[in-house]
Amino acid sequence: MEYRLTEPFTKEAVRNLRAGDQVLVTGTIYTARDAAHKKIVEMMDRGEKPPFDIADSIIYYVGPTPAKPGNPIGSAGPTTSYRMDAYAPRLLDAGQLMMIGKGQRSAEVAEAARRNGAVYAAAIGGAAALMAQCVKSAEVIAFPELGAEAVRRLYVEDLPVTIVLDTEGGNLYEEGRSAYLQRT
């Protein structure tokens, strides 16, 4: 199925998404990779407010290239998601709604997503310039010293993703592999 997910992002909005569904995301999302995740979790451990409200947030695992003149962002393809696996359960428990990246996730992340009514979506790997066309604005909001890995607030329109882990425990990578093996 194909869906549109627009702000405000809520648990109710992702509850019916299933592994394999195609989704076009429109609204404010945030970027963060492993270095930023580490800093955010350390802030939370110290009782400090993270740089954005984690509840109902969407985090895109991307380290974009510098923007060319007239563009809000450079190439913006997903990075490998397992790098965030050590931190993702903590953010999911704090209310994060969706993770966007590429590649498989650990069993702990899958369980945290299911437990918290959150989803993991895969973005198109190898199509960073295409993904960047969906970004209408970008602003560094935290950790500028991290360069490409700084936390950014993005406004995206029709960012294409595919649900991999759903709120019911569905896993597209496992289901797809199983379906393939049954056909061979």
User: What are the start-end ranges of the E strands in 15-106?
Assistant: 22-31, 58-60, 98-101
What count of other Cβ atoms lies within 10 Å of the Cβ of residue 66? Answer: 10
Contact 160, 127 (CB under 8 A): no
Q: Which residues are CB-neighbours of 164 under 8 A, at least 6 positions away? A: 19, 105, 119, 120, 121, 122, 171, 172, 173
Contact 100, 5 (CB under 8 A): no
* CA 133 to each of CA 78, 88, 123, 126, 137: distance values in angstroms, whole numbers, following the listed order: 14, 27, 13, 14, 10
Q: Which position among 37, 102, 105, 152 bears the catalytic label?
A: 37
3-state secondary structure of 29: strand
For the question of residue 164 being annotated catalytic, the response is: no
Q: Residue 44 has which token pair? A: 């939370």
Contact 57, 37 (CB under 8 A): no
Residues belonging to the active site: 37
